[in-house]
C-alpha cells in the first residue's frame, strides 16, 4: 500500500505538494482528489484542513481501502467517494489490475484488466467550485482535463497539482489562465523555483 506507507516512512510522502494543500485549504473550501488511491491527500484536506473533498478512485479494491481510511479518520461527513475513472466523455474503459498506486487506463499490451465506468469531471461536480484539484492518473491527465472545461474556467479554482505536464496538458491549462509555479514549504510561498524536488507540477491561476 505505497500510497499510505510512504507517509509512515517520510511524514509526508509528497512533501512539497502535500504541504501546499495543507497550507492553502481551510474549512469551506472544496478539494478534488483525482486518482485518490487510499486517500492520503483526501485525509490531509478534510481531516487536517477541514475542507470538503471529492475523492475519485476507479479501482474497486483500492476504493475499499479509501473508504476505510475515510471512516477511521472520521471524515465521512466531509468526503464524497466517486468510484469511477474520469475522462473526456462518459462511457466504459479498460483499467489495469494489481499495480497498486500505478494502476491506470489500460494499454493494448496489458492483459490483467477490468472494465470501469468513465465520467467527466464537469459531470461529477455539477457546478460545484473546487479551490484545488490534484490529478494523478498515470498519464491520462489530458483526457481528464478535456472533460473539465467548465470546471477549469471557474475563477474559484486557484491551483491544480498534476503528475503529468506534457504538451497537451500544458496547452489546456495555459488557455484557462494557469501558469507554472513552484512551492517552497519552508517559506510557505510560491516562488520562481524551489530547492525541493517534486514529482508533480503546480499550475496556478494567480
**3-state helix/strand/coil string of the chain:** CHHHHHHHHHCCCCHHHHHHHHHHCCCCCEEEEECCCCCHHHHHHHHHCCCEEEEECCCHHHHHHHHHHHHHCCCHHHEEEECCEECCCCEEEEEECCCHHHCCECCCCCCCEEEEEEECHHHHHCCCCCCEEEECCCCCHHHHHHCCHHHHHCCCCCEEEECCCCHHHHHHHHHCCCEEEEEECCCCEEECCCCCCCCCEEEECC
What pLDDT, on the 0 to 100 scale, is given for residue 4?
82
Parse the chain into domains and list their residue ranges. 2-87+121-204
> For 2-87+121-204, CATH number?
3.40.50.150
The neighbouring-strand residues paired with 112 are: none
List the grid coordinates of 120: 467527466
- pLDDT (tens place) for every residue of the chain, 206 residues total: 777 888 888 889 999 999 999 999 999 999 999 999 999 999 999 999 999 999 999 999 999 999 999 999 999 999 999 999 999 999 998 888 877 777 788 788 878 888 899 999 999 999 999 999 999 998 899 999 999 999 999 999 999 999 999 999 999 999 999 999 999 999 999 998 888 989 899 999 97
What pLDDT, on the 0 to 100 scale, is given for residue 21?
98
Amino acid at each position: 500500500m505505497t500510497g499510505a506507507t510512504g507517509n509512515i516512512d517520510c511524514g509526508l510522502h509528497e512533501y512539497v505538494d502535500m504541504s501546499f494543500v495543507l497550507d492553502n485549504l481551510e474549512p469551506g473550501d472544496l478539494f478534488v482528489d483525482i486518482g485518490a488511491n487510499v486517500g492520503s491527500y483526501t485525509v490531509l484536506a478534510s481531516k487536517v484542513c477541514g475542507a470538503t473533498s471529492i475523492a475519485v478512485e476507479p479501482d474497486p479494491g483500492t476504493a475499499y481501502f479509501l473508504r476505510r481510511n475515510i471512516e477511521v479518520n472520521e471524515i465521512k461527513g466531509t468526503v464524497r467517494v466517486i468510484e469511477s475513472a474520469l475522462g473526456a466523455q462518459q462511457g466504459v474503459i479498460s483499467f489495469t489490475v494489481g499495480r497498486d498506486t500505478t494502476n491506470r487506463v489500460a494499454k493494448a499490451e496489458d492483459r490483467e484488466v477490468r472494465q470501469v465506468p468513465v465520467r467527466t469531471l464537469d459531470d461529477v461536480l455539477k457546478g460545484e467550485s473546487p479551490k484545488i484539484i490534484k490529478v494523478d492518473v498515470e498519464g491520462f491527465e489530458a483526457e481528464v482535463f478535456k472533460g473539465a472545461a467548465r470546471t477549469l474556467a471557474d475563477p474559484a479554482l486557484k491551483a491544480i497539482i498534476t503528475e503529468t505536464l506534457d504538451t497537451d496538458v500544458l496547452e489546456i491549462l495555459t488557455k484557462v489562465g494557469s501558469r507554472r509555479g513552484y512551492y517552497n514549504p519552508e517559506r510557505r510561498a510560491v516562488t520562481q523555483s524551489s530547492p525541493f524536488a517534486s514529482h508533480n507540477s503546480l499550475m496556478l491561476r494567480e
